[in-house]
C-alpha cells in the first residue's frame, strides 16, 4: 500500500495511459465489458488525482523524481547539485487544476458512455479520451519544461483527433484542422522558448531556471513566445479564432473536457509568469498586457456570441469570454505583485477570484455543454431557430441548463457569482473602469443565455419534437455530478476559497516556496 502512495504522481499518468492502451484490446475481445472498463479507468485516475490533492493539502508540495530511488533527494550528488532527472512538482496550484480536471473528466465519461452507445469506433474514441486526460494531468503536475511540452502535444493531438471524430460532412475535420494547426504552431513556439532557456541555464527543470533567471533579451523573447503560445492554447483573444470552430463541431461531452484542456494552457501561462519569471521583470507592464488580453477576450467573446445561431458555437464564444475573467483577475494580481500594500488589500483577492473562476468555469461550462449535448442527442438539431418547446419533454435537461446559465451569468447562489463578485470587488479597487466592463459583460452574458433558454425550452410544444424523450440515466448522472459542484461551490464559497483556492494563489505568489520545495532547503 505504501508503494502506491509513494508513487502517486507517476500513477497519475501511468493509470490513464495504461488503461488507454488496453481499451482497444478489450474492445476487440470483450466488447461487453468495455463501457464498465472505461468508467473504472476514469474513476481510478480521478480518484488518484483526489488522493494526490489530499496529500498535497495535508503534507505540502510533492516532489517526485522519476528514475531515482525512493526517498533520495531531488538533486543527486553526482549531478553537481542540479536535478537533471524528469521531475514532477505538484504544489497548491497544480493540485487545484488537477481536481477540476478529475471532476470534469469523470462526469463526462458517464455521459459519453451513454451518448456514444449507437456510434461506431468506440474503442479508439475512449483510448483517445484517456490520452487527453493523461495529457491534462501531466501538464498541470510536471516540473520539467520539456515534459510540459510533451504533455501539451499529447493534449493537442488527442484533442484534435477527438474533435474530428464524428465527421458531420467534413466540418468536424475543418474545425479540428484549424485547432491542430494553431496548437502545433503554439507548441513549437513553446519548444523554441524552452531551447532559449536551456541554452542559458543548462537545465530544463523549472525550479532551477526560476532560481537563476534574469531579464536578458533572450529571456524576454522567450517570455513573449510563451505568452503568445499558451494564450493560443487557452483560446483567448487575439488567438481565439480556432476555439469556436473546434468546440462547435466536437462531440458535446468532449467539448466539456476541451474546456479543461484549454485551461491547462492557462495553467502553463500562470506558472511561467509567476513561478518562472516572478518578480524579475516589470510586473506592472506585464500585468497590464494580461489585463488587456483579458478585457479584449471578455468583450469580443460576448459580442461575437450574441448573434450566433448554432447553439454550441454560441457557448464556445462564451468560453472565450469567460477566459477573459480569469486573465483579468490574475492580471490585476500580477500588476500589483511588486506592491505589498496593494497586494494585501486587493491583489490577493483578485488572484483568488481569477483562480476560483477557473474551476467554476470548468464546472458550469461543462454542465452547459452536456445539457446542450443532451438536447442535440435527442433532436439532432444545432440551430436555435429550429428548436423550441423542449421543456415539456426534457424537464431535467432544462433544469440543468438553467442552473448552468444562471451560474455563467453570475446570479447567486450559484458558483459563478462567488468568483465574479471577488473579481468585481478587487478589480474595482485597482481600476473602476475594468470592473464596470466586467459587469457589463456579465449582463450581456445573461441576456444571451436568456435568449438561448427561451428559444430552446420555452414556448408551445412543437409537433416535430412530440416524440422527444428525456435522455438516458447515465447522461443525467454526468450532469448531476457537475450540478452538485456548481451549487456546492456557490453555497459555500468561503470553504472552497480557504481550502482550495488560497493554497493555489499562495503557491503562485511565493515563487521562493516552489524553488525551496524542489531543492529541499539546500542550494
Partner 1 sequence: MIANLPFIAVALLIGIALATILLKKNMIKMVMGLAMLEGAVNLFLVTLGYRENGIAPIFTNAPEGADMVLPTVQALTLTNIVIGVATTALLLVLVMVIYKKYGTVNADKMRRLKE
Give the residues lining the site for partner 1 (CB under 8 A): 84, 146, 150, 153, 156-157, 160-161, 164, 167, 169-171, 173-177, 180-181, 184-185, 187-188, 191-192, 194-195, 198-199, 204, 245, 248-249
To the nearest whole angstrom, how small is the minimum distance from the Cβ of residue 241 to partner 1?
10
Helices (H) and strands (E) in the chain, counts: 22, 2
Cα separation, 347 vs 328, in Å, equals 11
C-beta closer to partner 1: residue 64 or 201:
201
Cα separation, 507 vs 92, in Å, equals 6
Cα separation, 358 vs 443, in Å, equals 20
C-beta closer to partner 1: residue 203 or 349:
203
**Could you tell me the three cell numbers for 97?**
487544476
To the nearest whole angstrom, how small is the minimum distance from the Cβ of residue 342 to partner 1?
40
To the nearest whole angstrom, how small is the minimum distance from the Cβ of residue 332 to partner 1?
33
Calculate Rg over the CA atoms of the chain: 22
Cα separation, 430 vs 342, in Å, equals 8
Cα separation, 400 vs 315, in Å, equals 15
To the nearest whole angstrom, how small is the minimum distance from the Cβ of residue 233 to partner 1?
14
Are 486 and 415 in contact by the 8 Å Cβ rule? The answer is yes
C-beta closer to partner 1: residue 133 or 156:
156
Residue 233 burial by Cβ neighbours in a 10 Å radius (0-12, 13-18, 19+):
buried
Contacts (Cβ under 8 Å, ≥6 apart) of 193: 221, 222, 223, 225, 226, 229
DSSP annotation string for 8-33:
HHHHHHHHHHHHHHHHHHHHHH-GGG
To the nearest whole angstrom, how small is the minimum distance from the Cβ of residue 229 to partner 1?
12
To the nearest whole angstrom, how small is the minimum distance from the Cβ of residue 350 to partner 1?
36
To the nearest whole angstrom, how small is the minimum distance from the Cβ of residue 183 to partner 1?
9
C-beta closer to partner 1: residue 153 or 425:
153
To the nearest whole angstrom, how small is the minimum distance from the Cβ of residue 93 to partner 1?
26
Are 10 and 87 in contact by the 8 Å Cβ rule? The answer is no
To the nearest whole angstrom, how small is the minimum distance from the Cβ of residue 337 to partner 1?
31
Helices 502-509, 348-379: axis angle to 10 degrees equals 120
CA torsion angle 75 76 77 81 (round to 10): -30
Q: Report the 10 Å Cβ neighbour count for 393.
A: 18
To the nearest whole angstrom, how small is the minimum distance from the Cβ of residue 157 to partner 1?
6
Indicate left, alpha or beta for 427 from its phi (over 0: left) and psi (-120 to 50: alpha): alpha
C-beta closer to partner 1: residue 157 or 330:
157
C-beta closer to partner 1: residue 237 or 486:
237
C-beta closer to partner 1: residue 200 or 510:
200
To the nearest whole angstrom, how small is the minimum distance from the Cβ of residue 181 to partner 1?
7
C-beta closer to partner 1: residue 178 or 420:
178
Distances (CA, A) of 91 to 73, 120, 500, 504: 17, 40, 11, 8
Indicate left, alpha or beta for 235 from its phi (over 0: left) and psi (-120 to 50: alpha): left
C-beta closer to partner 1: residue 4 or 181:
181
C-beta closer to partner 1: residue 310 or 506:
310
Cα separation, 158 vs 136, in Å, equals 10
To the nearest whole angstrom, how small is the minimum distance from the Cβ of residue 173 to partner 1?
4
**Could you tell me the three cell numbers for 51?**
488522493
| Bridge partners (DSSP) listed for residue 63 | 89
C-beta closer to partner 1: residue 318 or 511:
318
C-beta closer to partner 1: residue 204 or 394:
204
To the nearest whole angstrom, how small is the minimum distance from the Cβ of residue 487 to partner 1?
35
C-beta closer to partner 1: residue 271 or 313:
313
| Residue that is written with C-alpha cell 464564444 in the block | 317
Residue 255 burial by Cβ neighbours in a 10 Å radius (0-12, 13-18, 19+):
buried
Q: Report the 10 Å Cβ neighbour count for 215.
A: 11
| Bridge partners (DSSP) listed for residue 310 | 383
Residue 113 has φ and ψ, to the nearest 5°, of -55, -35
Amino acid at each position: 500500500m505504501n508503494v502506491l502512495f509513494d508513487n502517486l504522481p507517476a500513477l497519475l499518468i501511468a493509470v490513464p495511459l495504461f488503461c488507454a492502451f488496453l481499451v482497444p484490446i478489450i474492445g476487440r475481445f470483450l466488447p461487453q465489458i468495455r463501457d464498465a472498463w472505461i468508467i473504472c479507468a476514469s474513476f481510478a485516475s480521478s480518484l488518484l488525482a483526489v488522493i494526490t490533492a489530499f496529500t498535497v493539502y495535508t503534507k505540502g508540495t510533492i516532489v517526485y523524481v522519476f528514475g531515482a530511488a525512493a526517498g533520495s533527494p531531488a538533486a543527486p550528488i553526482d549531478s553537481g547539485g542540479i536535478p537533471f532527472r524528469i521531475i514532477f512538482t505538484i504544489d497548491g496550484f497544480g493540485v487545484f487544476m488537477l481536481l477540476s480536471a478529475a471532476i470534469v473528466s469523470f462526469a463526462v465519461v458517464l455521459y459519453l458512455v451513454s451518448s456514444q452507445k449507437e456510434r461506431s469506433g468506440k474503442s479508439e474514441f475512449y483510448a483517445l479520451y484517456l490520452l487527453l486526460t493523461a495529457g491534462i494531468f501531466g501538464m498541470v503536475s510536471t516540473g520539467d519544461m520539456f515534459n510540459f511540452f510533451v504533455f501539451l502535444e499529447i493534449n493537442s493531438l488527442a484533442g484534435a483527433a477527438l474533435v474530428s471524430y464524428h465527421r458531420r460532412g467534413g466540418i468536424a475535420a475543418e474545425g479540428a484542422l484549424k485547432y491542430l494547426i494553431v496548437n502545433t504552431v503554439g507548441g513549437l513556439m513553446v519548444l523554441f522558448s524552452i531551447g532559449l532557456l536551456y541554452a542559458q541555464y543548462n537545465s530544463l527543470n523549472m525550479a532551477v531556471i526560476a532560481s537563476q533567471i534574469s531579464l536578458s533579451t533572450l529571456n524576454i523573447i522567450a517570455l513573449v513566445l510563451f505568452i503568445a503560445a499558451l494564450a493560443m492554447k487557452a483560446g483567448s483573444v487575439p488567438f481565439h479564432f480556432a476555439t469556436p470552430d473546434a468546440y462547435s463541431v466536437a462531440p458535446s461531452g468532449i467539448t466539456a473536457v476541451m474546456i479543461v484542456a484549454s485551461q491547462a494552457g492557462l495553467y502553463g501561462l500562470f506558472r511561467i509568469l509567476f513561478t518562472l519569471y516572478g518578480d524579475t521583470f516589470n510586473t506592472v507592464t506585464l500585468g497590464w498586457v494580461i489585463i488587456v488580453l483579458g478585457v479584449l477576450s471578455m468583450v469580443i467573446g460576448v459580442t461575437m456570441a450574441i448573434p450566433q445561431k448554432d447553439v454550441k458555437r454560441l457557448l464556445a464564444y462564451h468560453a472565450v469570454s469567460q477566459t477573459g475573467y480569469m486573465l483579468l483577475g490574475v492580471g490585476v494580481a500580477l500588476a500589483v505583485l511588486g506592491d505589498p500594500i496593494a497586494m494585501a488589500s486587493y491583489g490577493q483577492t483578485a488572484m483568488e477570484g481569477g483562480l476560483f473562476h477557473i474551476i467554476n468555469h470548468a464546472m458550469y461550462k461543462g454542465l452547459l455543454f452536456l445539457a446542450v449535448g443532451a438536447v442535440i442527442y435527442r433532436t439532432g438539431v444545432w440551430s436555435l431557430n429550429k428548436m423550441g418547446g423542449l421543456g415539456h419533454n426534457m424537464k431535467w435537461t432544462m433544469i440543468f441548463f438553467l442552473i448552468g446559465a444562471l451560474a455563467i451569468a453570475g446570479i447567486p447562489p450559484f458558483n459563478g457569482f462567488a468568483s465574479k463578485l471577488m473579481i468585481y470587488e478587487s478589480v474595482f479597487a485597482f481600476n473602476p473602469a475594468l470592473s464596470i466592463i466586467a459587469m457589463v459583460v456579465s449582463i450581456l452574458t445573461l441576456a444571451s443565455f436568456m435568449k438561448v433558454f427561451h428559444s430552446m425550452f420555452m414556448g408551445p410544444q412543437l409537433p416535430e419534437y412530440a416524440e422527444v424523450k428525456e435522455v438516458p440515466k447515465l447522461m443525467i448522472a454526468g450532469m448531476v455530478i457537475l450540478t452538485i459542484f456548481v451549487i456546492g461551490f456557490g453555497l459555500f464559497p468561503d470553504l472552497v476559497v480557504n481550502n482550495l483556492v488560497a493554497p493555489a494563489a499562495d503557491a503562485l505568489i511565493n515563487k521562493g516556496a516552489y524553488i525551496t520545495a524542489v531543492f529541499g532547503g539546500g542550494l
